[in-house]
Structure 1
Amino acid sequence: MKRVLLVIDVQYEYFTGKMPVTYPEGSFENILKAVDAANRTQMGVILIRHEAPQKDAATFVKNSREWNILEELLKKEHLYIIDKKMPGSFTGTELEDLLKKMGIDTVVISGYMTQMCCDSTARQAVHLGFSVEFLSDATGTLDVSNYAGQITAKELHNAILVTQAMRFSKVISTADWIEGLNEK
C-alpha cells in the first residue's frame, strides 16, 4: 500500500473568514498530527487549496487572506499545493495524474468541509480506483441552514462519516491511523 495524505482546504476562510468550522473540536490539531505522522513515515503530503470560480464570490477569493492556507500548515513538509475550483479535488486539476506518477493506491482524507470537499474527493478517489482512508476527527464542518432545512455540524459530520463507511472509505480516527502507521 502506497499512501498520500491529502490536506483539503485548510484555509483562513474556515478560521477567520465567513465560514468558521466548529465541529469536531480539535480538528485542526489532528490535521497537524496527521501531517507530522505522514512526514515521519516519508508519506507524501499534498495540500489542496480552494478558489471560488465566481467573479462576485464572497468567500475563497483568490489572493485574499482567507484564500491562503494556514501558515502553521504551510511550514510543514509537503510535496505540492493543488489549486481547485470545484468541491472534488480531482476535478480540473492534475491530482489524478500526479498520484498515478507517484504510484499511489490509497489516499488519506483530512481537511474541510466534511460534507463538501472531503466527501466529494473521497468519492472521486474511489471512482478512480484508489482506496480511501477518511480521518474522522481531522475533517470538520459547521452548522448548515438553507432553503432545504437545517442541520447541526455534529449531525452533518456524523452522517457523512456513516455514509463514507458504507461504501467509500475506511473511516478512522487520527490516533488509530497514526498507530497503524507506527506498526508498519
Structure 2
Amino acid sequence: MKTALVVVDLQNDYFKGGNWELVGTEQAAENASKLLKYARNNEMPIIHVRHEFPTDDAPFFKPNTKGAEIHSSVKNLDSEPVVLKHQINSFRETNLKELLDLNEVDSILICGAMSHMCIDGVTRAANDFGYKCTVAHDACATLDLEFNGVKVPAKQVHAAFMAALKFAYADVLTTAEIIELKN
C-alpha cells in the first residue's frame, strides 16, 4: 500500500494573530511537522493543500495575503506540490486526485485544519474515491462553534468530528501512533 501525506490548510490566518485564529493550531502544526519530517525521511509523496477565497471580501484566506500563505512550520519544499482550492472539499475543482493517482497512492494520511470543515470534507471524499484514510487527530485544529444558542467548545467540536470519521471513514490516530505503526 502506497501512502501519501496530505497537509490541509495550515495557513497563517489560523495561527495566533491571524484573521481566523483556531484553538490549538500551534500544537497541531507541531505534530504535522513531525509527520512531514517522517514522510520526507521515508520518501512518501507529500501534497500540501492551500485554501484561498476567490474574492477580497472573505473573512480570512484572502487572495495574495500573508494570511493565506502556508505557515512556516509546515512549509512545502519546492519538490512538494501545493494544491490551491477555493472550496471546503480539497478534491473539488482541484488536481488533488490527479496527483494522488499519478503517484499510485491508495492510502492517505491527513492532517490540518479545520477539523469540522476541510478535514472532514477531504476525508469523506477520499474514502468515497476508495482511498484508505488515516487522520492524525492531534495534528488537526478547529474552533469554538455556536448553534441555535448553544456554544460548543473546540475540544468537543473536534472530538465529535473525529468520532464520526473514525466510525466509518478513517483510522483516527495520534501522530506518535501513526509513526510507530509505519516503523
TM-score, normalised to structure 1, is 0.93
Letter paired with 1:122: T
How far did 1:76 drift? 4.8
Distance, in Å, in 1 between the alignment partners of 2:60 and 2:27 is 23
Deviation of residue 144 (structure 1)?
A: 1.5
AA paired with 2:84? D
Q: What runs of 5+ residues in structure 1 fail to find an aligned partner?
A: none
Residue in 2 aligned with 1:46? Answer: 47
TM-superposed CA distance for 1:27, in Å, is 1.2
The answer to whether the Cα contact below 8 Å between 2:20 and 2:59 also exists between their aligned partners in 1 is no
Runs of 4+ in 1 over 2 A off after TM superposition: 75-78, 145-150
Give the aligned partner of residue 11 of structure 1. Answer: 11
The alignment partner of 1:91 has SS state of coil
Q: Is the 8 A contact 2:123 2:169 kept in 1?
A: yes
Does 2:120 correspond to 1:119?
yes
> Following TM superposition, by how much is the alpha carbon of 1:53 offset from its aligned partner in structure 2, in angstroms?
2.9
User: Does the CA-based 8 Å contact 1:50-1:84 persist in structure 2?
Assistant: yes
Q: Is the 8 A contact 1:35 1:76 kept in 2?
A: no
**1:155 is matched with which residue?**
156
Cα distance in 2 for residues equivalent to 1:67 and 1:129: 30
Q: Which residue of 2 aligns with 1:20?
A: 21
Q: 2 CA distance for matches of 1:78 and 1:159?
A: 35
| Cα-to-partner distance string for 1:95-118 (whole Å, 9 max, x where unaligned) | 111111110001111001011001
Q: What residue ranges of structure 2 are gaps of 5+ in the alignment?
A: none
Distance 1:62 1:106, change over 3 A: same
- Aligned Cα RMSD in Å? 1.7
Give 1:145 deviation, angstroms. 2.4
1:28 CA drift (Å): 1.2
Task: Please state how far the C-alpha of 1:90 moved relative to its aligned partner.
Answer: 0.2
Output aligned runs, 1:124-139, within 5 Å: 124-139=125-140
Q: How many residues align?
A: 182
TM-score of the superposition, structure 2-length normalised?
A: 0.93
Tell me whether 149-158 or 169-178 shows the greater mean CA deviation: 149-158
- Within 5 A, what are the aligned runs for 1:68-107? 68-74=69-75, 76=77, 79-107=80-108
How far off is 1:150 after superposition? 2.4
**Structure 1 counterpart of 2:109:** 108
